[in-house]
Chain A
Amino acid sequence: MKQFGGAFAILLAVVFCAAGTVHAFVFTDPAGLYSTQIADSWVYQAHHSTEHLVVFYGDEDSALLYFERLGTVSYLSAWEFAHRSLELYRSPGGLEKFEMVRDLAEVEVGGEAGVSCAYTYQDGQGNQLWEYRVFLVLPGGEGFSIAFSDSRPEAADDPRQLEEILLHWRWLL
């Protein structure tokens, strides 16, 4: 009887915990490099994704989440990777009306040191978008990027959904 009581208590705890959390699923990279937990509201986009790029659309009209593998890079650090990328984003042929919103800062993703930042720009239709991005150079020299984008400034100011994803990030190699 005591055993049943214990099990009931655990069940209750699970039910109450579940009621307070967002439903999520575990996403594992098809190439087996990483896995993370992503809220159910994000939908994987097969037509937009490739072997190196994984794309999810959120429930808002422009909410976007994407992870990109860039292959072996010659950058010695995530800082170098970030600096070079931002330099090109703001150069001619880069992003229209590019502006930094949050300066480069160190961030840890699944135990790997990376660099994060946030910026805003204008897309081809003239819409202003905000994007929070993480740059990583993984052991072995592979470049990796995680981006979270939306038409609302919260994507850059307070990217809670992304923080949740980064919190559950695991490297599988």
Chain B
Amino acid sequence: MRSQYWSRYICAVLLLLLGAAAPCSAAGLSATFERTLGAGTAPSLVKEYGGEYILPIQERLRVEEVFARLAAQSERQDVQYTLTVLNSREANAFSLPGGFIFITRGLLNLIGSDEAQLAAVLGHEIAHVEKKHGVNAIFRQLGLSVLAEVGAFALDFLSGDLLRAAGLALTQILQAGWGREAEFEADALGQEIAARAGFDPVGAISLLEKLIQAENSEESMHIFRTHPASGERKKRLEENLAEYWPEPDLVKDFSALERLKQGRISDPGGRTDPRARYVLEGVGHPGVKLVDQQNGEQVVWAENAFVKEAAWSPDGTYLALLVDAESLGELWLFDRWGRVFRKISGLGEINGFCWSPQGDMLALEVPGSGGLRIVAAYLYAEAFVDVSGGRQAEEAVWLEEGLYFRSGADWYRTEPPQAVPVRVAEPVPVVLQRKRILTPTLVKEGNTFRLTRPELTVP
């Protein structure tokens, strides 16, 4: 009832104003309206989430730098973006019309130092403002979907009462979310903004996975309360990811591959442990045989599987094993303690693989519709990108210069989206205190020794 009353009121005012309206000023007035609306709602939102939280200096500078890079990608020159950290353990983030972006301390803790994930969530919230999801939802709520843009123009002239009504509608919408399609749109645009700002677009997927995992283990996760099913969001984000890989180029300069051929790039196959602890003795059945040089003992990993190929990641963190599992080639990744970190399957039979030089991705040779293709598998997200651009492709070789593969008689080269590390232009030195560590003391009691309760001591 109340919204019907306001709808009529707004329509009446619109009719009065439309005649006198100067079209060129509509956008500016819309931005002013959004800003006024957002500024009016922000204090209650901040209060609801425990007030503003001031981050420690170093973290503040890093978060501000990420945010500044993202805001610089905005296409709306009429919006000035501001970021507020909320003092809540709940993992959540919001945006209000007018460029007010909020992120909770809980979500920042969950993200940790992963800049791509931070960029993903902030990019998503900026995208809501870019696409005017908030203000459009208010107009829908007030029954003015068709007149949304014009309404924004007209409402600038309206009373505080109407702004309060819009603010009330905004608060209600915030509880329910901007809507399913708006969230999908913000996911896609947020990922694009993050990529344009120099952050790895896979951050959106790895963040989503992290949130799903945290949601299953904690009650304080509310970020999905207002969002569509995460499986569908992840699928769409993964589909978008391929757009950030450039179309493969036909290779005309073979110098990089020649150097490889001449053996000037050592151990491209990754058979040698970069940390020089394990010596790979052989692969086959059972598993992979390694000699642990710390104790001289032989160890067998993946002992129940037939291992066809093994390669250490360039930093030695993982050993990838190509195994025959149920007559399909799967890739098993082991950490340095012989524990399975991840199994990559479901792509058909994996025929071959190679590591990226940074060790954060693998190129897999898998069957496609018209023959083999090369798929890039991300290590820290369940994401795969077909990088061969619809060609039949094989013999992936990943060098610093890019990912090379052969298609027929030709060689092609592509590369993952380049991430630019965050660099604070005006950094501030850290202020350190001595670390205290929990250490037990060894106490002799007769012929025996006893460890005391650990105490905090300065090393």
Contact = CB atoms under 8 A, between A and B. Distances in A.
Interface string B413-441: 00000000001011111111111000000
A108 to B, nearest CB: 19
A55 interface: yes
A84 B428 contact: yes
Nearest to A73: B427
Interface string A126-156: 0001010101000000010101010000000
B435 A48 contact: yes
Contact of A88 (B57, B423, B433, B459): B57
B458 interface: yes
A71 B458 contact: no
A73 B430 contact: no
B72 interface: no
A93 B60 CA distance: 9
A84 B427 CA distance: 9
Contacts of B430: 53, 68
Interface stretch (A5-13, A33-41, A59-67, A157-165): A59-67
B429 A70 contact: yes
A30 interface: no
A89 B427 CA distance: 12
B214 interface: no
Interface residues of B, number: 19
Contact of B426 (A45, A75, A123, A149): A75
B438 to A, nearest CB: 14
B56 A84 contact: no
Contacts of A121: 431
Given A57-B458, A61-B434, A61-B458, A93 B429 contact: no
B265 interface: no
Given A92-B54, A93-B54, A57 B434 contact: yes
Given A71-B423, A84-B426, A89 B431 contact: yes
A143 B432 contact: no
B243 to A, nearest CB: 32
Contacts of B427: 70-71, 73, 143
A89 B431 CA distance: 9
A145 B435 CA distance: 20
Interface residues of A, number: 37
A153 B423 CA distance: 35
A62 B433 CA distance: 7
B429 A94 contact: no
A47 interface: yes
Contact of B431 (A48, A70, A131): A131
A64 B430 CA distance: 13
Contacts of A145: 429
B55 interface: yes
Nearest to B53: A93
A113 interface: no
B115 to A, nearest CB: 16
B426 A73 contact: yes
B431 A93 contact: no
A149 B432 contact: yes
Given A74-B426, A75-B426, A93 B56 contact: yes
Given A61-B458, A88-B57, A92-B54, A74 B434 contact: no
A64 B433 contact: yes
A64 B428 contact: no
Contacts of B435: 45, 47-48
A62 B457 CA distance: 11
A88 B55 contact: no
Nearest to B437: A47
B434 A64 contact: yes
B429 A135 contact: yes
Contacts of B428: 84-85, 88-89
Contacts of A72: 423
Nearest to A64: B434
A95 B433 contact: no
A89 to B, nearest CB: 7
Contacts of A84: 426, 428
Contacts of A57: 434, 458-459
A135 B435 CA distance: 24
B57 A94 contact: yes
Contact of A48 (B54, B56, B432): B432
Contact of A95 (B60, B426, B431): B431
Contacts of A91: 57
A131 B431 CA distance: 9
Interface string B260-293: 0000000000000000000000000000000000
A53 to B, nearest CB: 7
Contacts of A131: 431
Contacts of A95: 431
B429 A64 contact: no
Contacts of B433: 62, 64, 123-124, 129, 149
Q: Which 3 A-B pairs have the closest CB atoms?
A: A145-B429, A93-B54, A74-B425
Given A66-B432, A129-B433, 17 more contacts: A47-B459, A48-B435, A55-B432, A57-B458, A62-B458, A64-B434, A70-B429, A71-B423, A73-B425, A74-B425, A75-B426, A84-B426, A93-B56, A95-B431, A121-B431, A135-B429, A147-B429
Interface of B: 54-57, 60, 423, 425-435, 458-459
6 contacts: A45-B435, A57-B459, A71-B423, A85-B428, A92-B54, A93-B54
